[in-house]
């Protein structure tokens, strides 16, 4: 590595939305800083599947409402 071109890589504490903490190394902040997360894998719909299922169900219902009078001719 070239000297004096890379950011400082140090240890920080990360606080999840449920209050659990862990230590990691990062270029964020200063050594010993605490990063409080607003969204994490325990609460975000993309990982929990909560909101995504509602969106999918809503799209199917929207499709069914839109084409409820459509009938195939025999």
Residues 28-55 have pLDDT tens digits of 999 999 999 888 887 776 666 655 554 5
pLDDT at residue 25 is higher than 90: yes
> Any idea what the Cα angle at residue 33 is, between residues 22 and 13, rounded to 5°?
0
pLDDT in the model for residue 70? 78
pLDDT in the model for residue 2? 81
pLDDT at residue 61 is higher than 70: yes
Please tell me what DSSP assigns to residue 36: E
- The pLDDT-based confidence of 10 (bands split at 50, 70, 90) is very high
Q: How far is CA 23 from the centre of its chain?
A: 20
């Amino acid at each position: 590595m070239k000297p004096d071109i890379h950011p400082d890589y140090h240890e920080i504490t990360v606080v999840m939305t449920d209050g659990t903490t862990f230590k990691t190394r990062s270029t964020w902040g200063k050594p010993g800083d605490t990063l409080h997360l607003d969204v994490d894998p325990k609460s975000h719909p993309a990982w929990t599947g909560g909101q995504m299922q509602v969106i999918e169900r809503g799209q199917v219902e929207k499709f069914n409402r839109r084409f409820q009078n459509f009938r195939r001719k025999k």
